[in-house]
Structure 1
């Protein structure tokens, strides 16, 4: 299975990735959310393949 984050607005191509587990995807988000915010991403959704797992989740620090 492939896990991926979809951003609003879209995650820049140089930051896009896919993972084999939900935990790996969530760990990555925890590490890279400052870069995503800096790139203008304000919310994300987590997908397993084409199935929405959860979101949108705000990246707003408030």
Structure 2
């Protein structure tokens, strides 16, 4: 069964959760994996600016991807 809700979680350089109530770090739910991936592609710089070093993708609450480094491509 395909997940119906996709979410990102974020960690700092020490592996601790990075959370917040602002527009970028607030929990967001996406209807498709593609929507979640587009969003991270558009927001990774802002996430880094708030202390996130890595991101993990979850489908229906189960981790399915990551860690994804939030660094510019070389």
Gaps of 5+ in 2: 13-17
Runs of 4+ in 1 over 4 A off after TM superposition: none
Mapping for residues 1-62 of structure 1, pairs under 5 Å: 1-9=4-12, 10-14=18-22, 15=24, 16=26, 17-61=28-72, 62=74
How far apart are 1:13 and its partner, in Å?
A: 2.6
> Which has more strand, going by share of residues?
1
The number of equivalent residue pairs is: 62
> Which has more helix, going by share of residues?
1
Q: CA RMSD in A?
A: 1.3
How far apart are 1:57 and its partner, in Å?
A: 1.0
Report the TM-score, using the length of structure 2 for normalisation.
0.74
Report the TM-score, using the length of structure 1 for normalisation.
0.87
1:18-37 per-residue CA deviation (whole Å, 9 max, x = no partner) reads 11100000000000111001
Larger Rg over CA atoms = 2
